[in-house]
Structure 1
Amino acid sequence: MRKGFTRRPKVEEPAANHDKNYITPGGIERLKEERHFLLTKDRPAVVEVVAWAAGNGDRSENADYQYSKRRLRQIDGRVRFLTKRIEAAEVVDPEARRTGQRATRAFFGATVRYANAAGAERVVSIVGTDEVDLDRNHISWASPLGRALMRAAENDEVSLRAPGGTETLTVLEVRYERISVEQFHVPSGAEVSTKGLDR
């Protein structure tokens, strides 16, 4: 193989700590609720459909069987993913008492009000990667904006490096308060009904 096609690891970049899954108390509860639903409701219902469809003869042309087996693999993959995220979770409570710089600077769990160069203000809460919700202004601590705001205090200017260029932001306020994470909702059509399968 020619040398131009080999890839060297980038030694100068520090290894990101992706082993830890920083998350708020509401975020970890949502992951646990989803896993519980998949294990106790969704998966058993799909297993029942697989068993019913398997009894209908030739599996290679049985659409119910093929679809249900695929759905079962998706559920199992999601359960494995959720289990790893829960096991790696490091819960950080934004309402926990903080002292010194931890009380005045932006860290995980902070709610930050900032202004851009044009004076437009925005308020964001820094949360875990599993809790990102742009409708609620919840941004990941690992996102470009989250990284730019980290360790910033009131009146600090920070540089946001984004694909569109670099922007200067002024931090107006850093506070720590409860961050309301949307609860897990059962997706419509997720629970497979097995009624009427004995056609």
Structure 2
Amino acid sequence: MAQIHMTRNGLEALKKELQQLKSVDRPAIIEAIAEARAQGDLSENAEYESAKEKQGFIEGRLADIEAKISQAEVIDPANLKAEGRCVFGATIELEDLDTEKKSTFQIVGDDESSIKDNKISINSPLAKALIGKEAGDVVEFESPGGIKSFDILRVLYI
């Protein structure tokens, strides 16, 4: 079975979602199904159908999260001997060579990635270009808007 790489924060977020689904969402949908059943004829009961559909989604998500947690391999960049290189879990400060705009990203697993939180997937074009590089290197990668070039200013293991 393949390992799923993630940061400690990513694993904790999955565990938190699992707990929410098991202790809040699942009991609420079971109650909603019971209430819809109490209304009588199930063949034309939209509330019942909707609740059953939501129950299916919740059960599917539970199975997905449990599988990911069982396959999780937590990688702590602080424990890696990366010697200044960009690696999984590293936080990288970049400067766009076209706009001179500075930005900071952390390289994380697919499930953890969030542009609004400045977390990019290890499988993204930018992360693939960064892996193995170090501060002072220039990386180029193909973005939807064309070729982008970044100067790596700092690599942090936090």
TM-score w.r.t. length of structure 2:
0.90
Identity in percent: 36
How big is the shift at 1:55?
3.1
- Determine the structure 2 residue equivalent to 1:164: 145
Match status 1:134 vs 2:115: yes
* CA–CA distance in structure 1, aligned partners of residues 109 and 151 of structure 2: 23
Match status 1:173 vs 2:154: yes
The AA in structure 1 aligned to 2:117 is R
Q: Contact 2:120 / 2:127 at 8 angstroms: preserved in 1?
A: yes
Task: Considering fraction of residues, name the structure with more helix.
Answer: 2
- Determine the structure 2 residue equivalent to 1:151: 132
Q: Which runs of 4+ in 1 moved over 3 A?
A: none
Pairing of 1:16-165 with structure 2 (within 5 A) = 19-96=2-79, 98-99=80-81, 102-118=82-98, 119-165=100-146
| Stretches of structure 2 lacking an aligned partner (at least 5 in a row) | none
How many residue pairs get aligned? The number is 157
Deviations 1:157-181 (A, max 9, x none): 211112222222221111111xxxx
The structure having more radius of gyration, on CA atoms, is 1
CA RMSD of aligned residues (A): 1.7
Q: Contact 2:77 / 2:87 at 8 angstroms: preserved in 1?
A: no
SS of 2:150 mapped into structure 1: strand
SS of 1:104 mapped into structure 2: coil
SS of 2:107 mapped into structure 1: strand
Deviations 1:78-123 (A, max 9, x none): 1111112212211111332x33xx1310000111112222332211
- Determine the structure 2 residue equivalent to 1:4: none
